[in-house]
Amino acid sequence: MRFKKYLLYLLILIVAGAIAVSIFFAVKDRDQDKAAEEAPSVDAEEETAAAASEDAVKADPEPEEEIEPEPEIFEDHYTSSSGDFTGYTIKCPEGWVIKEEESGKTLMLSNAGMLLGSSSPASEYIMIKVEGSSSLEDGLQGLTDAYEETAAAGSYEMIEGFKADTGNGEVDITGYIYASGLAGINGGGDSGAPGEIDLMTYAVSGDNIYIIKYMASGVKEEDSVKTFTGFLNDFEIGGDIAGEMAGGGSGSSMNILILGVDSGLGREWGRKSARSDINMILHINLQTYGATIVTIPRDLWVPIPGHNDGKINGAYTMGGPELAIETFEGFSGLDIDNYIITDFDGFIPLIDYLGGVTIEVGEDMADGFSGCYLSRGVHHLNGEQALALCRNRYRSGDGSTQGGAWAREREAAKVIKALYEQKTTLDRILALPAFADFLLRYTWTDLGFIDLMRILPVLGNIGTPEIELRGVPSYSKMIGKASAVVHYEDETAQMFEEIKNQ
């Protein structure tokens, strides 16, 4: 009886345990289902992560690579392309022409023609010259001083300084007015314009200086100031604009006949009846910057148009500069563009005005006829000494040419070359065209304002090593009763052909 009772208790315990276990697992399954319903799916988790990543990018974006904006390009603008300095951009005034040298190291803009409705010829030029700051021996103040000294030497009327805005800030402008005797220029007239006006300013960038010069003839001061100021407003070094305009070259070449006639020093005959005892042709290639001085013997026997054959120095006596040019053109085959003539009375003060000339003499000289007494070596000569050197025919020569008259002619060419050497590029740029006005005091010439402007851009590019001295291949010969000089035709023709193609 007691055994059955225990068996009943055991059975009740087993049934209660089974019920408890069932209840436990039922509750556990219910909690898991509920957790699964509340938890996000795998796709939802990925979407949430992507959204979080996008929010993070928006909050802290990665830096984008900066792209340099392309400069805005204008058809009426010019931009220098040389890699030697920071490029500059200008706006070309309407109707003007651009000529460039060395990809913009030198730039010349010209507006030649009839201006202001005047019957007088008028022309305007703007020149930009880029130079290294090291070329300024006395610094920027020295540049301004040198420019003003040019005006003072000519007793010109200074213009009150004024300012103009550029793309790089404000610049100071100085200048002067003068009336020259240059051919083709009529100062004043109905327009009330002065003969010539010259304005200058500069800008600096890095190690370079940008000299900007305005030169005009037959233009009123107020119109010149307006044109130059307007041009400067559109001038900028660097900047974010560029130009499509291309600059042309300076042209082909120029040939200048240089004559030294034997008048002056109290001689009875005057300039018009004198003979040309010094005869040279200066050839300048405006594209290659080459230059050659050809010396021509005064006794060279040549055909003289409209006359019999004779010594070339007689052409000037017979027909002045016009016949001399025609004779030298016929002999050389070169087209003579202009002439410069001086005599003893002009040569001496011209050399003195330029401060004398330093030249190397290749032999000892003692000549009572010309008054030349010099030892071999380097000498600084005044005008009187330089003239004596150029007149000395009684000499052996220094080995570079024949003696006698040939050596004398070469010495005269060396003097001209030495005078060019004495001036720096900036001196030549700053002084012209005013220097030509000084030149007229001592010479007579048909060079005009426009002619000088053709030469000016290339002056800084013609180095003295590139100025070649050549003489006509020739020899002495008696023709009738005259002691003359005869040239070797084939060699002479070849020489002038080489000069044409320089």
Greater confidence (365 vs 4) lies with 365
Mean pLDDT of 143-168: 88
pLDDT of residue 118: 43
* Domains of the chain by residue range: 72-245, 253-500
> For residues 187 and 428, what is the distance between their CA atoms, to the nearest angstrom?
24
What digits encode the pLDDT tens for the residues 51-68?
555 555 555 555 566 665
Average pLDDT over every residue of 405-418 = 87
Q: For residue 377, is pLDDT > 90?
A: yes
pLDDT at 13 over 60: no
Cβ(453)–Cβ(250) below 8 Å: no
The whole-number pLDDT of residue 450 equals 84
> In which element (H, E) is residue 268 found?
none
Q: What letter represents residue 128's amino acid?
A: I
Across the chain, mean pLDDT equals 82
Q: How confident is the model at residue 191 (pLDDT cuts 50, 70, 90)?
A: very low
Question: Is there a contact between 86 and 64 (Cβ–Cβ < 8 Å)?
Answer: no
pLDDT exceeds cutoff 80 at 339: yes
Q: What is the CATH number of domain 72-245?
A: 2.60.120.1690
Average pLDDT (457-483) is 84
For every residue of 27-83, DSSP letters joined together read HHHHHHHHHHHHSPPHHHHHHHHHHHHHHHHHHSPPPPPP-PPPPEEEEEEEE---T
Whether residue 387 has pLDDT greater than 70: yes
* Between 463 and 378, residue with greater pLDDT: 378
pLDDT bucket at 167, cuts 50 / 70 / 90: very high
Cβ atoms of 129 and 106 closer than 8 Å: yes
Residues in contact with 162: Cβ distance below 8 Å, sequence separation at least 6, in sequence order: 172, 173, 225
Average of pLDDT values for 33-37? Answer: 52
462 or 99, which is more confident:
99
Does the pLDDT at position 130 exceed 90? yes
The DSSP letter of residue 347 is: H
pLDDT tier, 115 (very low <50, low <70, confident <90, very high otherwise): very low
Local confidence band at 375 (pLDDT 50, 70, 90 cut-offs): very high
More confident site: 136 or 444: 444
150 CB neighbour count, 10 Å cutoff:
20
CATH code linked to domain 253-500: 3.40.630.190
Residue 319 in tokens: 């027909």
pLDDT (tens digit per residue) in 305-333: 999 999 999 999 999 999 999 999 999 99
Greatest mean pLDDT among 183-187, 236-240, 324-328, 456-460 lies in: 324-328
pLDDT at 185 over 50: no
